[in-house]
Chains A and B, each alone.
Chain A
Amino acid sequence: MSLDIDPRIRHRTRHIGRSVPRREDRGPLTGASRYVADIKIGGMLEAAFVRSVEAHARIVSIDTSQAEALDGVEAVFVAADLADVKSFPDYISYIGSVRQRPLASDRVRYVGAAYAAVVASDRYVAEDAAALVAAGTVYEPLAAVADLDQAMAPDAVRLFDHWDSNISVDVNPSRPEVDRAFAEADHTFAETYTSQRQTGLPMETRGVVADPSDGNLTVWTSTQSPHMVRTAVALMLGVPEPQVRVIHPTVGGGFGTKTHTYPEDVVVPWMARRLGRPVRWIEDRAENLVASAHAREQRHDVEVAYDDDGTIRAVRCTSILDMGSGEIFMPGTAPVFVTNACITGGYDFANMAARTVGVVTNKTPSGAYRGFGIPEGAFVMERIIDRVARLTGTDRVELRRRMLLRPGQTPYVMHGGGRLDSGSHRQSFEQALPDALAALARARARHAGDDDVRVGVGYCNYVEPTSPSYHLTTGHWGGHDSATVRVDPDGSVRVAAGLSAMGQGAETVAAQLAADALGVLPEQVTVVLGDTERAPYGLGSWGSRGAMMLAGGVLMASERLMDKARRIAAHLLEADDSDIVLTDGAFHVAGSPAPSVSWAEVGTTAWVRTVDLPEGVEAGLETSGFYHPENLKHHLDADGRINAAASWANGTHIAIVSVRVSTGEVSVEDYIVVHDCGTVINPALVDGQVHGGVVQGLAGALYEHFQYDPDTAQPKFSSFMDYLVPTCAETPPMTVGHRESPPPDQPLGVKGCGEGGTVGPPAAVAGAVSDALADWDIDLTACPVTPVAVRAAVRAAETAGRGPRGSR
């Protein structure tokens, strides 16, 4: 759908393009915000879940009697009690169905799987009771599947008895042109790259409060997708959907983990209905580390065909995702498809054969994390380019210059069908280079004279699909989002949208958009998000879609509202509709500022003094827009290709690192970003998204790694002492530059910006460390780049006789 947007608001109007201060700030600054854990309802009980301590086992029996006898315990529920609750739907036909129950019944498939729930007077007592249920649980342990190789072994223990292997999905399109290129190329090499298991880790864990009073079911949950939770809860509990209201209160970060609808989102409302009392469950951090979605654990078996001059002729890549147990809704398979779709980044390189495999193991289910497969692919591509440069003696920067898309090459269709509608692929790289080279020189100067310290630089040029199809991810939902705009009798504006807010500033952005669309000040706009009773059906905030979908929905609804307002104003001014314009919040005839009518007069006429409405105009001044981006597709074409994103942002990341050879310590000394998300609505917020994303990316590059025992699949982590979230002391100075390449077919030329920051760091840091250690011919193939990993590489090189003469 194309929008007929008032040309005056297309770009750089009064509020769009400016760092309008955030309206979200005062609550958290003063402690007045209400997060889900802050909700208290009279008579409310508190829940705790009992979680498997076995990676893979049958549950033989659960003795709940001791827990039930405990003072303060209201009820203990196990899977059998929830027999009337439907399973999570298996909507995607081409992946293995997991038939996920709200509580695990006879079989547990990962440490952390909830198999019982306790409701008590407070959380302390609930935990006492949960410990008694745990002690009363008899397991029959089964052999555990701890990694991809074990999962795919011919004699592997199967997680699901109704599958014939542990492979959930395996898609391998034929690409004869790639085979031809391999046959013709001067050289080939094969390598395996890996990306480690991580999680989004919002500072606020998940939490659910359910209130069954008055025959309705109100659910507060810390989610990124309240309408999707509503649909799932209504379906699974068999409650008419109009009787279910889902609200996300202030949300303390999501980063993808809160896009899923989790068992607790269903079980807590069920328990509240069963007991007729409000019930609250707040995930604690120990639960969070094993019970909220993990992500990013992928292996990439790569073959590369290249010529003597550094030309990369073709790449074959088998990307295999460790899905954990797969028991998560929506399913966690989509990121590995995104990895393969985005792997070639902003490079003019379509000769790619990508096989996509998803495998289940006895670990926490893998799902969404900011970046959603993109960082894993960018890592592979940049490591390939650096390797080819090194093998052929080609300059790394020159090779990238040769490959990057130039102005005029868009729209460009990628190997998997992704349509890069616009972008500044080569220009962003060129813009970042001078800053990076200056930073590199500074770092070299800082460490001059210290033989133990080596300095290097690493590059990443990526594309970020924004506002993607949710049909491919869920098998059910599509890709629209919604907004309702209303002008009340006093002239105040209300915007309600299906998007969610979890800290990114969506309310401020919505107010900016509505203010410019309706010629008012942002202060005059009230924004409602995250409440299924007050906002229209939307899919929520994920996939770098907030700004785009808000722009689409708010402007669409505003246009419709403006049409009606103009008619009313024209009638009040006794003029013709087409002569009416809006200036500084007042309607008047073009060319003569007086007389005029205000939004309050128009609003009052529409709602109150309806006797003054023109003939044929209905009362009320409220319009909606259900926006769906024009080029967003949900089904593969005949060649198996698809453009599954509304638009594609791009960027360049360059890391400057120093490596202390004797200890393997890596320090990121500078980090340069050039970022292009089309029209920037609020520069401060976009910078904030980039800063936060980059630090999450650096966390994956250097620190965060969920490790499991290779034999038992028991987690080797339980706290923040084991899962190393970086502090500000581990964070480098960042320079963020911008370019704006607006997509021609999007309202305002907006692209998403939420995820790009996470994409570059693993590739850029691994590239920089490999560069710093070039004298040892070290070429890293995995993250995190820990001191141990660096030392292991140096030792291996020196054992093989590689390394600078006389070093150390």
Chain B
Amino acid sequence: MKPAPFAYCRPDSVAEAVEVLASSESSRVLAGGQSLIPAMNFRLTDVSVLVDIRAIAGLDSVTVDADGVTVGAAATQSRVLADAGAARAVPGLRAALRHVGHLQIRNRGTVCGSLAHADPAAELPALAVATDARIRVTGPGGRREIAARDFFCGPFWTALEDGELVTEAWFPATRPDSVTVVDELARRAGDFAVAGLVAMIDASDGAVRTSRLVGFGVGGAPLRLGSAEAALAGWSAGRPTADIEQAAAADCADAFDDIHATSWYRREAVAALVLRAARTALAAKEQL
């Protein structure tokens, strides 16, 4: 399990990185490498040039302001997880990152790398969609910004074009009265989710008012659960749940089968997670 030969470079600037990325076929960005290097060790990924972006000044920054959190492309998951300001502004960041891999993985893996990798079972892409994050990229054609909902196209497939590099992701600050829940069913600690949910729930007087529900591990990309959001509106603990469960399952009609779970299990699991999140949010509100 040794990688096939490739060339390696470590540019000092985004411009240089983009130049190399654009000039060679099957070039890949190396940030944390925690998904890319295993794929290369299995010789599943054909790479001619690896562009290591960790020497680019400023790319590892995490900035927090009133509007939100900006995470640079080289900022590790551990660094973001440890940032108290980021956790206050966007609670979902910490909630999601606690589910990501293990300490050793988070110490190298990056938030932006996870977004660019677009594993359908990963937490951070779903968080990005749920929070309306924006992905900022630089390419041969200059800079552009892509809304998270437009960024994820399918399994390991994003709106990035050839030669484009994610430079940062911006997560808007979560409104203080909204409760974020990141929950998942995984076979073992640290595993990718069999089914997962990012829920941002507004509640008052013991009932859910509005919610933003994004499933992961149930489709090719983060999946907005529109029917479940509608069904959940006005729900309070003790009320019937069948409509919500059916709506969530319907939202996940195309959930996939793999060795860890069946499609129908994933639909049921998301429904259970939606209810669990709603109960958690209502309980959290009650405690405020």
So, do A and B actually touch in the complex, CB under 8 Å? yes
Interface residues of A in 597-638 (CB under 8 A from B): none
B259 touches A707 (CB 8 A): yes
Stretch at the interface among B182-190, B199-207, B224-232: B182-190
Number of B residues contacting the other chain (C-beta, 8 Å)?
Answer: 24
Which residues in A have their C-beta under 8 angstroms from that of B262? 788
B265 touches A791 (CB 8 A): yes
Roughly how many angstroms separate A786 CA and B262 CA in the complex, as a whole number?
Answer: 11
Which residues in B have their C-beta under 8 angstroms from that of A718? 42
**Which residue on B lies nearest to A48, using beta carbons?**
B2
A662-B272, A717-B259, A787-B194 known; A724-B187 Cβ under 8 A: yes
Minimum distance in angstroms from B271 CB to a CB of chain A: 8
Q: Is there a chain B Cβ closer than 8 Å to A726's Cβ?
A: yes
A-B contact count (CB 8 A): 60
Q: Is there a chain A Cβ closer than 8 Å to B5's Cβ?
A: yes
Roughly how many angstroms separate A545 CA and B261 CA in the complex, as a whole number?
Answer: 40
A131-B43, A286-B42 known; A703-B187 Cβ under 8 A: yes
SS class of chain A's interface: helix, strand, loop or mixed?
loop
Q: Is there a chain B Cβ closer than 8 Å to A211's Cβ?
A: no
B272 touches A730 (CB 8 A): no
User: Which of A123, A665, A726, A788 has the most chain B CB atoms closer than 10 A to its own CB?
Assistant: A788
**Which residue on A lies nearest to B43, using beta carbons?**
A131
**Which residue on B lies nearest to A131, using beta carbons?**
B43
Q: Is there a chain A Cβ closer than 8 Å to B148's Cβ?
A: no
Interface residues of B in 170-203 (CB under 8 A from A): 185, 187-192, 194
SS class of chain B's interface: helix, strand, loop or mixed?
loop
A663-B185, A724-B187 known; A791-B259 Cβ under 8 A: no
B189 touches A729 (CB 8 A): yes
**Which residue on A lies nearest to B185, using beta carbons?**
A663
Q: Is there a chain B Cβ closer than 8 Å to A11's Cβ?
A: no
Roughly how many angstroms separate A662 CA and B38 CA in the complex, as a whole number?
Answer: 35
Interface residues of A in 783-806 (CB under 8 A from B): 786-788, 791
Which residues in B have their C-beta under 8 angstroms from that of A729? 188-190
One of A124, A724, A726, A787 near B265 (C-beta < 8 A): A787
Which residues in B have their C-beta under 8 angstroms from that of A724? 187-188, 191
Roughly how many angstroms separate A787 CA and B192 CA in the complex, as a whole number?
Answer: 15
Chain A 686-728 interface mask (CB, 8 Å, partner B; 1/0): 0000000000000000010101000000001111011010110
One of A124, A722, A726 near B259 (C-beta < 8 A): A722
Which residues in A have their C-beta under 8 angstroms from that of B4? 127-128, 131
Roughly how many angstroms separate A270 CA and B259 CA in the complex, as a whole number?
Answer: 39
A123 touches B185 (CB 8 A): no
Interface residues of B in 1-52 (CB under 8 A from A): 1-5, 38, 42-43
* 27 pairs from A and B in contact (CB 8 Å cutoff): A124-B3, A127-B1, A128-B4, A128-B5, A131-B43, A286-B1, A662-B272, A663-B272, A664-B265, A665-B185, A703-B187, A705-B259, A718-B42, A719-B38, A721-B192, A722-B259, A727-B188, A727-B189, A729-B189, A729-B190, A730-B188, A786-B187, A787-B187, A787-B194, A787-B261, A788-B262, A791-B268
Going nearest first, the 7 A-B pairs with the smallest beta carbon separation are A729-B189, A284-B1, A662-B272, A124-B2, A788-B265, A663-B272, A716-B259
Contact surface of A with B, Cβ cutoff 8 Å: 123-124, 127-128, 131, 284-286, 662-665, 703, 705, 707, 716-719, 721-722, 724, 726-727, 729-730, 786-788, 791
Other than the given A719-B38, A721-B191, A787-B194, 6 more pairs (CB < 8 A) read A131-B43, A703-B187, A718-B42, A722-B259, A729-B190, A791-B268
